[in-house]
């Protein structure tokens, strides 16, 4: 392999390539390039003799945070497909951006990459620039940097890197279809909408949990009011204690599927996101396979072999996406049942609140403090019930939509 000069100090410009161009490469488990296509070779600017047998990091650009590669390789090393935005460097020091879809295969990994063009891509360029600068300035360990990237993604409204990755690929494919004048892919669109709806469910449930936790101070206020209004053990004290006990049951139930590792919300979201990503991967691999039919011969490469490996990987993504959706359907049904159960528990809490309102009437002018406390409960309950209705409706809609999706494609 020809030794490469250090090009990091040279002025850089962006390599131009078409929106319908797709990059392909295949590596061994160590990341050594075993095969690629003409787009990869032309845009990178390396000769075939320089690419084949070289480590894939030959095209790595220092502006791509090491956090990205840590996340990618952690997933791939565990046998999971993964994707993300990557800034690469050409042989002459120029750069080019891709959205990479990477899948583990027998004997290594294969990747199909497309040109990104969405508003999300514009946002991620800024995030990468800031994170890469911090890595250099603070000498961040890749693990610490990856945690920072996860935090940024979470703050942007995504529940995990998986949901971000899937949403990004879905958006990139939809934008690419639109810009190339292609008809919209209805399957991709439905899964994008499901993914977005699941993110809304998760955010609503987190807000709901915060509302319940805010309620915990109100029974204490009730007890203080009761101590001024009645002897120990009176009706207001009993109402406050019953309310506290019932609200704690609901809060604990909420935490079981909103927070903590492997909570129900995350499981549903992760499986739908996984299905969306695999469906997108399936699409780009089908398009990639078709290009091999017109590929010019290259010494050391067998296009039929590469097409066969892609076809095998494509079949796996199709089966796995169907399995992920089937699993997600079960989780979504459980999520809807949990939401309905909390709504039923809220009816009991409402009964206790009404009893407090009755006590306000009995106490008349002496119960001003209790009236104020019950007014607070009224506001919280109205907010909580509205969130519960939204969660229940979204959960049921998502479950129904996924069931229809699976039934429409029973063979996966």
Q: Of 104-118, 163-177, 232-246, 291-305, give the lowest mean pLDDT range.
A: 232-246
Q: Does the pLDDT of residue 228 top 70, yes or no?
A: yes
Band of the pLDDT at 1, cuts 50, 70, 90? Answer: very low
pLDDT digits (tens, 9 = 90+) for 169-195: 999 999 999 999 999 888 777 777 777
pLDDT at 43 exceeding the cut of 60: yes
H-run or E-run covering 97: strand 95-105
Same domain, residue pair 144 and 196: no
Give domain status of residue 370, yes or no: yes
pLDDT digits (tens, 9 = 90+) for 195-209: 777 778 777 877 877
pLDDT tens for residues 130-173?
999 999 999 999 999 999 999 999 888 787 888 899 989 999 99
Same domain, 147 and 197: no
DSSP string, 16-67: P--TT-EEEEEE-TT-BEEEE-HHHHHHH---HHHHTTSBGGGGB-TTS-HH
363 and 222, same domain (yes or no): yes
- The number of domains in the chain is 2
Domain boundary among 136, 156, 176: 156
Query: Residue 11 has what pLDDT?
Result: 42
**Closest Cα to residue 195, out of 174, 177, 178, 181?**
174
What is the CATH classification number for the domain harbouring 62? 3.30.450.20
Q: What pLDDT, on a 0 to 100 scale, did the predictor assign at position 7?
A: 37
The pLDDT, as a whole number, for residue 5 is 35
Distance CA 95, CA 111 (A): 18
Q: Is residue 176 part of a domain?
A: no
Q: Look up the domain containing 236 and give its range.
A: 186-408
Q: Is residue 9 very low, low, confident or very high in pLDDT (cuts 50, 70, 90)? A: very low
How sure is the predictor about 366, in pLDDT bands with cuts at 50, 70 and 90? low
- Separation in Å, CA 16 to CA 94, 144, 182, 341: 10, 34, 22, 55
pLDDT of residue 289 exceeding 70: yes
How many Å apart are CA 221 and CA 372, to the nearest integer?
10
Inside any domain, residue 224: yes
Q: What percent of the chain has pLDDT over 90?
A: 42
- Are residues 138 and 273 both part of a single domain? no
Q: What is the pTM of this model?
A: 0.79
Residue 181 in any domain: the answer is no
Pair 148, 283 in one domain? no
> Is residue 47 situated within a structural domain?
yes
């Amino acid at each position: 392999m020809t030794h490469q000069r250090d090009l990091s100090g040279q002025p850089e410009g962006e390599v131009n390539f078409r929106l319908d161009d797709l990059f392909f490469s295949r590596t061994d488990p160590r990341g050594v390039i075993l095969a690629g296509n003409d787009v990869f070779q032309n845009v990178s600017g390396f000769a075939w003799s320089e690419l084949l047998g070289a480590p894939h990091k030959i095209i790595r650009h220092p502006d791509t945070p090491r956090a990205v590669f840590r996340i990618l390789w952690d997933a791939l090393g565990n046998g999971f497909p993964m994707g993300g935005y990557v800034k690469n460097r050409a042989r002459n020091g120029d750069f080019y951006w891709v959205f990479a879809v990477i899948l583990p295969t027998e004997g290594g990994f294969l990747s199909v990459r497309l040109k990104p063009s969405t508003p999300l891509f514009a946002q991620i360029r800024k995030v990468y620039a800031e994170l890469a600068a911090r890595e250099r300035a603070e000498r961040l360990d890749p693990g610490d940097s990856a945690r920072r990237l996860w935090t940024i993604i979470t703050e942007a409204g995504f529940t995990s890197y998986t949901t971000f990755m899937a949403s990004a690929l879905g958006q990139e494919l939809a934008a690419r279809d639109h810009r190339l004048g292609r008809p919209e892919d209805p399957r991709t669109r439905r899964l994008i909408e499901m993914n977005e709806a699941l993110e809304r469910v998760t955010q609503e449930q987190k807000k709901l949990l915060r509302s319940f936790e805010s309620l915990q101070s109100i029974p204490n206020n009730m007890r203080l009011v009761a101590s001024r209004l009645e002897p120990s053990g009176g009706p207001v004290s009993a109402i406050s204690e019953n309310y506290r006990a019932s609200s704690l049951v609901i809060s604990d139930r909420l935490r079981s599927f909103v927070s903590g590792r492997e909570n129900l919300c995350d499981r549903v979201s992760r499986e739908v996101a996984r299905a969306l990503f695999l469906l997108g991967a399936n699409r780009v691999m089908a398009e990639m396979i078709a290009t091999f039919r017109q590929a010019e011969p290259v010494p050391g490469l067998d296009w039929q072999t590469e097409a066969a490996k892609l076809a095998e990987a494509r079949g796996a993504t199709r089966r796995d996406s169907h399995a992920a959706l089937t699993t997600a359907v079960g989780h979504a049904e459980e999520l809807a049942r949990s939401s309905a159960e909390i709504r039923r528990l809220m009816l009991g809490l409402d009964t206790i609140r009404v009893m407090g309102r009755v006590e306000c009437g009995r106490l008349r002018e002496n119960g001003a403090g209790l009236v104020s406390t019950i007014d607070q409960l009224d506001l919280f309950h109205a907010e909580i019930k509205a969130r519960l209705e939204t969660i229940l409706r979204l959960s049921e809609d998502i479950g129904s939509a996924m069931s229809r999706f699976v039934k429409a494609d029973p063979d996966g």
